Amino acid sequence: MERLIYENSFPSDILIVKVVVSDILENFRKLDLSVSMDEESDLRLVLSELLYNAVIHGNNCDGSKSVSVSVKPSGPGVKCTISDEGDGFDHSSFTGDTPNELDLLESDHGRGLLLAISLTDSLVYNEAGNELIFTMSLLCVGEQGAGS
pLDDT digits (tens, 9 = 90+) for 27-81: 999 988 878 999 999 999 999 999 999 999 999 999 999 999 999 999 889 999 9
Percent of the chain residues topping a pLDDT of 90: 64
| pTM for this entry | 0.86
Question: Percent of the chain, pLDDT > 70?
Answer: 80
Domain boundaries, the chain: 6-147
Confidence of residue 105 (pLDDT cuts 50, 70, 90): low
pLDDT at 3: 84
The Cα–Cα gap between 49 and 54 comes to: 9
Q: How far is CA 111 from the centre of its chain?
A: 14
Helix (H, G, I), strand (E, B) or coil at 88: coil
Q: Does domain 6-147 have CATH number 3.40.50.300?
A: no
How confident is the model at residue 148, as a pLDDT?
41
What per-residue confidence (pLDDT) applies to 128? 92
Cα torsion 115, 55, 84, 4: sign? positive
Long-range contact set of residues 59-63: C-beta below 8 Å, sequence gap at least 24? 59/12, 59/84, 59/85, 59/86, 60/12, 60/86, 61/12, 61/13, 61/14, 62/12, 63/11, 63/12, 63/13
Helix ranges restricted to H, the chain = 14-30, 37-53, 99-104, 111-119, 139-147
